[in-house]
Amino acid sequence: MNLMVFGAPGAGKGTQAKFLIEKYGIPQISTGDILRAAIADKTAMGMEAKKFMDEGKLVPDSTIIGIIKDRLAQDDCKNGFILDGFPRTLPQAEALRDLMNDMNISLDKVISLNVPDSLIVGRITGRRVCPDCGASFHVEFNPSKVEDICDYCGGKLMVRKDDNAETVKSRLGAYHEQTAPLIAFYKDMGVMVELDGTKDVGEVTKDMFKAIG
């Protein structure tokens, strides 16, 4: 099962991805995580990315795509994967499509979690994340069983540095300008499923599994 979780910052992508991992036993592929891993492992693509980052430059799409190619070729992706946070622009989406065509794999579903901006700010400022396993919680909508402790690994939950109202509004602006147009791109491919992300976490999960089939 090859999936992509799509939506604005704070729409609940990380939370729902965890349920997909539990159900299907497939890895979540976050560009931030695999970029850090590639640099730590000193892969060719990782070292190329590090060169740009050390110079204070954005890592080019071609390098990111190379790192994703390396990740998708690993054994744990043979039965599927969950893409989270990539692509963010139309050129990235087109490059990913071409890469997957070359690898003879395709996306089964793109799950779009639709949440209005007015709710996003409150969601993100209340978000708590686990630095150890990446799990995401919310103090109101999806609290951990023990306050500030991760349900999955027991790590100490934290507030991300950029999870503040001013930064969130800036990120939402970038999302609507650069990423929202991908909804039409994946609709044209026939894999887009749009869900009401304002529902309770459990209801969104039920809708998601029903849509995947």
Read off the pLDDT of residues 150-200 as tens digits, 9 standing for 90 and up.
999 999 999 988 888 888 888 898 888 888 889 999 999 999 999 999 999
- Active site residue: 69, 88, 97, 187, which one? 88
Q: What is the reported pLDDT for 203?
A: 97
The domain 2-116+190-198 having CATH identifier 3.40.50.300: the answer here is: yes
Residue 140: strand pairing partners: none
- Active site residue: 18, 71, 123, 127, which one? 127
160 is catalytic: yes
71 is catalytic: no
- Residue 80 confidence (pLDDT) above 90: yes
CA distances from 129 to 18, 67, 121 (A): 12, 24, 16
Long-range contacts (CB closer than 8 Å, 24 or more residues apart) made by 121-127? 121/10, 121/165, 121/168, 121/169, 123/10, 123/11, 123/12, 124/9, 124/10, 124/163, 124/168, 125/163, 125/164, 125/165, 125/168, 127/10, 127/159, 127/160, 127/163
127 is catalytic: yes
- Active site residue: 13, 71, 109, 123, which one? 13
Closest CA to 110 of 17, 10, 206, 9: 17
- Active site residue: 78, 160, 169, 210, which one? 160
- Residue 116 confidence (pLDDT) above 90: yes
- Residue 121 confidence (pLDDT) above 90: no
Average pLDDT, the chain: 91
Q: What is the reported pLDDT for 103?
A: 96
- pLDDT band at residue 47 using 50, 70 and 90 as cut-offs: very high
Q: What is the reported pLDDT for 167?
A: 86
Query: Taking residues 63-77, what's their average pLDDT?
Result: 93
Distance CA 60, CA 64 (A): 7
171 is catalytic: yes
Q: What is the reported pLDDT for 155?
A: 96
Q: What is the reported pLDDT for 83?
A: 94
What are the residue ranges of helices labelled H in 55-200?
61-72, 90-102, 117-125, 165-174, 182-189
- Active site residue: 50, 97, 171, 187, which one? 171
88 is catalytic: yes
